[in-house]
A = this chain, B = another copy of it.
Amino acid sequence: VAKRLQAVAASGGGGGGDREAFRQAVVNTLERRLFYIASFKIYRGVAGLYDYGPPGCAVKSNVLAFWRQHFVLEENMLEVDCPCVTPEIVLKASGHVEKFTDLMVKDDKTGTCYRADHLLKDYCKEKLEKDLTLSAEKAAEFKHVLAVLDDFSAEELGAKLKEFGITAPDSKNPLSEPYPFNLMFQTSIGPSGLSPGYMRPETAQGIFVNFKDLYYYNGNKLPFAAAQIGQAFRNEISPRQGLLRVREFTLAEIEHFVDPEDKSHPKFVDVADLEFLMFPRELQLAGESAKLMLLGEAVRKGTVNNETLGYFIGRVYLFLTSLGIDKERLRFRQHLPNEMAHYAADCWDAEIECSHGWIECVGIADRSAYDLRAHSEKSGVPLVAHEKYPEPREVEKLVITPSKKELGLAFKGNQKMVVEALEAMSESEALEMKSALESKGELEFQVCNIGKSVSIKKNMVSISMEKKKEHQRVFTPSVIEPSFGIGRIIYCLFEHCFYTRPSKSEEEQLNVFRFPSLVAPIKCTVFPLIKSQKFDEAAKVISKSLTAAGISHIIDITGTSIGKRYARTDELGVPFAVTVDSTSTVTIRERDSKDQIRVNVDEVASVVKEVAEGQSTWADIMWRFPTHSVSHPDED
């Protein structure tokens, strides 16, 4: 089935049935072996909430440990850990209170809620797939709607729903007009009920508000990166796509702060030779597909905006493929202009293909100075960096000097307000005033604080450009943000690692997860071949030595056939199985090749450690130890 899916995937469409069947096979295995559990299942669950059961949880903690190793430790990032509960003011500054919404419609009679764009999308897709009488013209219209759906305003969406006569899917009742629903879980901090708060929708804000301290911690030097792993929350209107769209999830985010005038990266050379699938804007607009590109070339040509952004794209590629993501089903897609926030300089998503299509799993955005500026303004605390000049520089600066005496004579009690308003003028306002005063001698000037305009005369203010010596440059850093949806990566990993193969008797298909050791939930299982005290004791000795070596493992002493036990451990993706068939030497079996070697009991732990931690490959190990080629008696 995996092969078939790959073929389907390669052919780029169709075969929905195959995808569906493949997904069912994976999800059944994941749920039966408790990789996932629907949360609060005994109470019939809650849409969009899932638990990681024991093997899923182990995979997750392996992925996070590797993330920390690959990003935080190797790059000396400053990791922080901030609360999920967040006061309203922070999320007002970030824009989430106002803008973190989806458009919703309600069934006019039952009150059931739907995502407006989902209803429109479903309608168009169904028409295109199932309505055989559709005219070419109509078909083109539906395709166009699907393409521009994400840009629709509430009014446009409402108009389309009306035009197509779309009603509530369950009841066929009429629908309300679309209106924005905020996706944050709201709560209240403290007992008074007067301090609204939200469960954070991302971890990034916790880093931005700490910029000043972190910059200081880094010796007031740029660039540096801060990182955070933690839970984030989105109160989805109607979660779909199973494990891919959930209401609570783990994010791992990096905020790399950099001088906007110098986005080079000293380690870019280390990733410049990587070649992988990239899908720049131009190819998308031309209707072409992603193509293999050299990262170094993509940056040199300006396809990727700058070296730092390029460096992170390369590091993300290495991270994902080390986990076991298939590099042929991984692409970096550049955001189209309409997807990108107005302030963003450039943005690429690492998309992974699974049975649900291409899924955004990592976003890598150059967000310019937007976030730091927003929090500076709201909090009144400057979140800026300083660059000391080797020697002072001469710069031209606008100087506004109100004449307090003249203003006092003219405006009496309002003098102070007028002075303040004059001093607060922007450079362009001031230059305009300067030229008006020079040409006409006076002008009308709006003073907000006193709520009216006053007439300013030439003798009331002097405006000039003066040369000044500056010792440093003060600026708001740009931030480059790689943001990882850990749950999505893990789900795609499960699909990429899953395959089936016939049992020895060819009577049934057995499931296997080909996890790299790095992420496998357990590195090794230990099986006494038959029930026997001697073998059980040898298994315990091996288990102790594995524990001492820090290798996670389990002993399976159930009386089932060794073949069944192999199948069980393959289905959990355990890379190595040790079968105790004597008290002096035992066999070690590799999951995918099913090769077995014979090793002394006291060498088992060091051999498994060596290959599980990647110091040696299985092929190396095969050279060094005798192959065990006879099947165990009841291997099936």
Convert A36-62 into 0s and 1s, putting 1 for each residue whose CB lies closer than 8 angstroms to a CB of B. Answer: 010111110011011111101110110
Q: How far is the CA of A592 from the CA of B85 in the complex (A)?
A: 39
B53, B552, B554: the one contacting A80 at CB < 8 Å is B53
6 inter-chain pairs at a CB distance below 8 angstroms, sorted by A residue, are A34-B213, A40-B87, A43-B87, A46-B189, A49-B85, A52-B82
Q: Mark A319-349, 1 if CB is under 8 A from B, else 0.
A: 0000000000000000000000000000000
A172-205 contacts to B, CB under 8 A, are 181, 185-192, 195, 197, 199
**Ranked 5 nearest A-B pairs via Cβ:** A52-B81, A42-B379, A54-B78, A113-B191, A42-B381
Contact pattern, A 73-117, Cβ under 8 Å of B = 1, otherwise 0: 110101111111111011000000000000010000001110000
CA–CA, A68 to B381, complex, Å?
40
**Which residues in B have their C-beta under 8 angstroms from that of A86?**
40
- Chain A interface mostly: mixed
**How distant is the Cα of A49 from the Cα of B86 in the complex, in angstroms?**
9
Contacts of A23 in B (CB 8 A): none
A206 beta carbon closer than 8 Å to chain B: yes
Pair A247/B85 contact, Cβ less than 8 Å:
yes
Write out the residue numbers on chain B whose beta carbons fall within 8 Å of the beta carbon of A57.
79-81
Give the nearest-CB partner of A87 in chain B: B46
Chain A, range 201-221, C-beta contacts under 8 Å to B: 206, 209-210, 212-214, 217, 219
In the complex, what distance in Å separates the CA atom of A80 from the CA atom of B53? 5
A503 at the binding interface (Cβ < 8 Å): no
A231 within 8 A of B: yes
Q: Which of A52, A73, A233 gathers most chain B CB within 10 Å?
A: A73
Q: By the criterion CB–CB under 8 Å, are A379 and B210 in contact? A: no
Question: Is B51 in contact with A84, judged by CB distance below 8 angstroms?
Answer: no
Contact digits for A130-173, partner B, Cβ 8 Å, 1 yes 0 no? 00000000000000000000000000000000000000000000
A187 surroundings in chain B (CB, below 8 A): 185-187, 199
Task: Tell me, rounded to whole Å, the shortest Cβ–Cβ distance linking A517 to chain B.
Answer: 15
The chain B residue sitting closest to A113, CB to CB, is B191
CB neighbours of A547 from chain B (8 A): 73-74
A581 at interface by CB-CB < 8 Å? no
Distance in angstroms from A474 CB to nearest chain B CB is 17
Contacts of A219 in B (CB 8 A): 558
- CB of B43 within 8 A of CB of A231, answer no
Contact across chains for B53 and A210 when beta carbons are under 8 A apart: yes
Q: Which residues of chain A (18-47) have a CB below 8 Å from chain B?
A: 34, 37, 39-43, 46-47
The reply to whether the CB of A362 lies closer than 8 angstroms to some CB of chain B is no
Residue A502 is within 8 A (CB to CB) of chain B in the complex: no
Minimum CB–CB distance from A248 to chain B (whole Å) comes to: 4
A209 and B87 contact, CB distance less than 8 A: no
Known: A54-B79, A61-B79. A237 touches B191 (CB 8 A): yes
- Minimum Cβ distance to chain B for residue A199 (Å): 7
Q: How many copies of this kind of chain does the complex include?
A: 2
A584 at the interface (CB under 8 A from B): no
Q: How far is the CB of A465 from chain B (nearest CB, A)?
A: 34
Q: Are A192 and B113 in contact (CB under 8 A)?
A: yes
Instruction: Check if B235 sits within 8 Å of A43, measured CB to CB.
Output: no
- Which B residues are in CB contact (< 8 Å) with A61? 68, 79
Knowing A191-B235, A552-B73 touch, does A82 contact B113 (C-beta < 8 A)? no
* A47 → chain B closest CB, angstroms: 7
Q: Which of B41, B82, B209, B226 contacts A209 (CB 8 A)?
A: B41
CA distance A312 to B42 in the complex (A): 29
Q: Is A449 an interface residue (CB 8 A)?
A: no
The complex places the Cα of A65 from the Cα of B64 at a distance, in Å, of 11
Name the distance in Å between A205's Cβ and chain B's nearest Cβ.
9
Give the docked Cα–Cα distance between A53 and B80 (Å): 5
Q: How far is the CA of A237 from the CA of B214 in the complex (A)?
A: 31
Does A434 interact with chain B (Cβ within 8 Å)? Answer: no
In Å, the complex CA distance between A379 and B44 comes to 9
A80-B52 contact in complex given A190-B47, A233-B85, C-beta closer than 8 Å:
yes
A375: Cβ under 8 A from any B Cβ: yes
Query: Which residues on the B side are within 8 Å of A558 (C-beta)?
Result: 219
Contacting pair A185 B53 (CB below 8 A): no
A82:B51 contact, CB within 8 angstroms? yes
CA–CA, A111 and B190, complex, Å: 13
Tell me if A69 is interfacial: C-beta within 8 Å of chain B: yes
A550 contacts the other chain (Cβ, under 8 Å)?
A: yes
Please name the residue on chain B nearest to A226 by beta carbon. B54
A258 to B552, CA, bound (A): 23
Which B residues are CB-close (under 8 A) to A185? 85, 187-189, 197
Does the CB pair A209–B43 fall under 8 Å?
yes
Are B248 and A42 in touch, CB under 8 angstroms? Answer: no
Q: Is the CB of A79 within 8 A of B58?
A: yes
Given A39-B83, A82-B39, A248-B85, is A210 in contact with B51 using a C-beta cutoff of 8 Å? yes
Inter-chain CA distance A237–B190, complex, in Å, is: 6
A413 to B409, CA, bound (A): 99
